[in-house]
Amino acid sequence: MRTGRGREAASRFFFTYAPGMNEVRIIGGRWKRTRLPVADRPGLRPTPDRVRETLFNWLGQDLTGWRCVDAFAGTGALGLEAASRGAADVLLVEQDAQLVDGLRRVQARLQDAGAVRIQRGNGLSVLAGLPRASIDLAFLDPPFEADLFARALEATVPVLAPEGRLYLEAPTEWAAVRLAPLGLTVLRHLKAGAVHAHLLALHNAVQQTAP
C-alpha cells in the first residue's frame, strides 16, 4: 500500500487523508470505525476510503469464511477490512519492520482477531510459497514506482481459488489485453484521481459461469 513518491504523492493519491493526519479507519464490519495508525514512513499510501468502500460493495459486505492475503499490507487497511467483515483467514505481509510492529499492535487491541496473521517478508516471495488454489481474495497494492504489478499478478494466479477474486491497485488501468496472457479478466474497474482500482477473476472461471 505504498509508493516511492513520498508524502507529497500520498496527499495527491489519498482523498480523505489530509496532510498532518495520522490514521485511517475501518469502514465496515465488527471493527467498524476502528482507527489504524499511519506511520510516518516514506511513501506510505493507504487505499482511499472511497475506493475501499466501493471495493467491498463489489465483493459484498459479508466475507464470512473467505481466505485472504494482503501481499503489500502497509497499514493493513485492506486485509483488516476483510477480517472485520468475517474473513476466516487473513495474512498480512509487509517488508518494513516498523510497519509490521504497527500491524501487530493493532492486532493486539482488536477483539477476536485470531483470523489475522502477520508476516514480515517480501510479498512476491510469500505469494510464491502459498499452496495452489488456497486464496479466495488477494489484495495487490505494491509500491507504484517499483514496477511489481506483472510479477505480483503472475505470483497470485496459481494460488487463487477457481472462484477467487483479486484486487489490484495501480497508477494506470490494466485493460483486458494486458490481463488475458495472465489468465485474468476484469470484473470491475474504478478510477479515482490517480488511483485505478481493479477487481479481477480467473478468466476460465468467468467463462464457465457465463450464460
pLDDT in tens, 147-191: 899 999 999 999 999 999 999 999 999 999 999 999 999 999 999
The answer to whether the CB of 199 falls within 8 A of the CB of 176 is no
Q: Which of 11-25, 64-78, 102-116 has the lowest mean pLDDT?
A: 11-25
Q: Could you tell me which residues come within 8 angstroms of residue 4 by beta carbon, excluding any fewer than 6 positions away? A: 42, 43, 143, 144, 145, 146
Amino acid at 55: L
Nine cell digits for residue 6: 513520498
How does residue 7 score in pLDDT terms, banded at 50, 70 and 90? very low
Instruction: Classify residue 84 as exposed, middle or buried by CB count within 10 Å of its CB (0-12, 13-18, 19+).
Output: buried
Picking from 172, 182, 183, the residue whose alpha carbon sits closest to that of residue 206 is 183
- The bridge status of strand 35-37 relative to strand 23-25 is antiparallel
Picking from 140, 146, 145, 147, the residue whose alpha carbon sits closest to that of residue 169 is 140
**Residue range 118-127, pLDDT digits in tens:** 999 999 999 9
What is the reported pLDDT for 135? 98
Residue 134 has pLDDT above 90, yes or no: yes
Distance linking the first and last C-alpha atoms of the chain: 36
**Residue range 189-206, pLDDT digits in tens:** 999 988 999 999 999 876
What is the reported pLDDT for 22? 81
What is the reported pLDDT for 9? 31
What is the reported pLDDT for 17? 35
The answer to whether the CB of 179 falls within 8 A of the CB of 150 is no
Instruction: Classify residue 175 as exposed, middle or buried by CB count within 10 Å of its CB (0-12, 13-18, 19+).
Output: exposed
Mean pLDDT across the chain:
87
Residue 20 has pLDDT above 90, yes or no: no
What is the reported pLDDT for 52? 93
What is the reported pLDDT for 209? 57
Backbone angles phi, psi at 193, to 5 degrees: 65, -125
Greater pLDDT, 86 or 12: 86
How does residue 128 score in pLDDT terms, banded at 50, 70 and 90? very high
What is the reported pLDDT for 194? 86
User: What is the distance between the alpha carbons of residues 37 and 35, in angstroms, rounded to a whole number?
Assistant: 6
**Residue range 38-90, pLDDT digits in tens:** 877 655 677 878 899 999 999 998 999 999 999 999 999 999 999 999 999 99
